[in-house]
């Protein structure tokens, strides 16, 4: 009797609203980075909390990677080599390109008589940056493209993904317990870290940056279990409540653990939105901006080095480089444009080339996944 082959499992659904959310997170970080160059005396708390955009990325990363890879891992269809190669293809080419770009811009700025941070060209930090281990306590200075410390933290989580997946899979039938445990772990770690280190974990970069991702990534994994069990019935209402509560939490400078936990509610809400119900969040422009969000984040420093220095000279801004509002807005508007260029010239073609290399070397996963993990 001829055996009829079973159909391959369907790939995970493309959660477009979460793709759009990545751009919002990246621009929150960009606002935090560029606001000191705006010629105003106020620094709104909501902007001052922009460093938490990185935490939003981290929670998203745990959620999406579980969305794509948890079931294959639990069912023994997971290729660790293929997973890591896909992650390298996703983050490494742009990381190296922006590192070299920052170095070239710093040299050019110095040659033109402009001032740059003396730590940018930190040769002692270069090996750790090139191996994506500069957030593991192995870089003596915050040199080169400093925001890339979070890519080093992501790499740490990627390497440890099987451990996260084992725990998540074991709790797949108890998602509420998983979320409760992840929130307690996050709050406890934040509370214990600050008195020991002298600064909040949410402000760690090259020192303890690898630890910074762990509670957020674990929360994202736990939230995926809840989504997997039962998406929210009123996602738009929950998303509105989450945005409002996040804004209140950041404005009132509540403990960062509160805001990060609320990120979980926002992610769960947007994930529960079917693409045909997500409105503008699922539109082609919103999804495109989400796709270039990694480039937005990674070109913040090189664009700031170039645009702010040039604008400051043209406007005689002085040593503090405080720019008039219209000039500052032009600089900010240029960021997504530069990011789109880096996406199409570097990030996307390099990712495709490396993935083709991996497929040629048989590094692909056992069951091809089509969804794009978030960063």
* Segment 194-230, tens digit of pLDDT: 999 999 999 999 989 999 999 999 999 999 999 999 8
Residues 6+ away with beta carbon under 8 Å from 264: 59, 179, 183, 219, 220, 223
Q: Which residues contact 344 (CB under 8 A, 6 or more apart)?
A: none
More confident position, 355 or 114: 355
pTM: 0.90
Neighbours of 168 (CB within 10 A): 25
pLDDT per residue over 142-156, tens digit each? Answer: 888 899 999 999 999
Beta strand ranges found along 232-374 (DSSP E): none
Residue 181 CB coordination number (10 Å): 16
In eight-state DSSP terms, residue 372 is -
DSSP classification of residue 41: S
Would you state the pLDDT for residue 362? Answer: 66
The pLDDT of residue 1 is above 50: no
Phi, psi of 58 (to 5 degrees): -65, -45
Query: How confident is residue 41, by pLDDT bands cut at 50, 70 and 90?
Result: confident
């Amino acid at each position: 009797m001829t055996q009829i082959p079973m159909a391959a499992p369907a790939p995970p659904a493309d959660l477009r609203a979460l793709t759009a959310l990545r751009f919002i997170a990246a621009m929150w970080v960009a606002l935090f980075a560029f606001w000191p160059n705006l010629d105003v005396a106020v620094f709104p708390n909501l902007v001052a909390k922009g460093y938490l955009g990185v935490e939003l990325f981290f929670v998203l990363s745990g959620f999406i990677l579980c969305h794509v890879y948890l079931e294959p891992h639990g069912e023994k269809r997971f290729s660790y080599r293929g997973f890591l190669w896909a992650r390298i293809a996703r983050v490494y080419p742009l990381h190296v390109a922006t590192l070299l770009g920052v170095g070239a811009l710093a040299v050019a700025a110095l040659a033109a008589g402009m001032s740059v941070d003396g730590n940018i060209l930190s040769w002692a930090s270069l090996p750790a940056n090139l191996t994506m281990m500069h957030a593991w306590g192995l870089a003596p200075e915050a040199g080169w493209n400093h925001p890339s410390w979070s890519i080093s933290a992501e790499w740490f989580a990627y390497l440890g993904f099987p451990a996260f997946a084992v725990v998540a899979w074991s709790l797949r039938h108890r998602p509420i317990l998983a979320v409760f445990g992840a929130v307690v772990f996050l709050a406890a770690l934040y509370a214990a870290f600050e008195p020991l280190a002298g600064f909040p974990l949410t402000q760690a970069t090259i020192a303890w940056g690898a630890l910074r991702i762990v509670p957020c990534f674990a929360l994202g994994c736990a939230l995926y279990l809840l989504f997997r069990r039962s998406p929210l019935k009123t996602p738009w209402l929950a998303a509105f409540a989450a945005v409002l509560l996040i804004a209140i939490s950041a404005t009132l400078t509540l403990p960062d653990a509160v805001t990060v936990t609320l990120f979980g509610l926002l992610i769960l809400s947007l994930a529960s939105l079917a693409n045909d119900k997500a409105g503008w969040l699922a539109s082609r422009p919103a999804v495109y901006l989400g796709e270039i969000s990694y480039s937005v984040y990674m070109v913040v420093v090189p664009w700031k080095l170039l645009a702010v220095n040039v604008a400051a000279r043209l406007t005689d801004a002085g040593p503090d480089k405080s720019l008039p509002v219209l000039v500052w807005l032009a600089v900010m508007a240029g960021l997504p444009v530069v990011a789109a260029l880096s996406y199409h010239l570097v990030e996307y073609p390099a990712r495709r080339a490396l993935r083709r290399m991996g497929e040629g070397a048989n590094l692909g996963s056992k069951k091809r996944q089509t969804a794009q993990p978030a960063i």
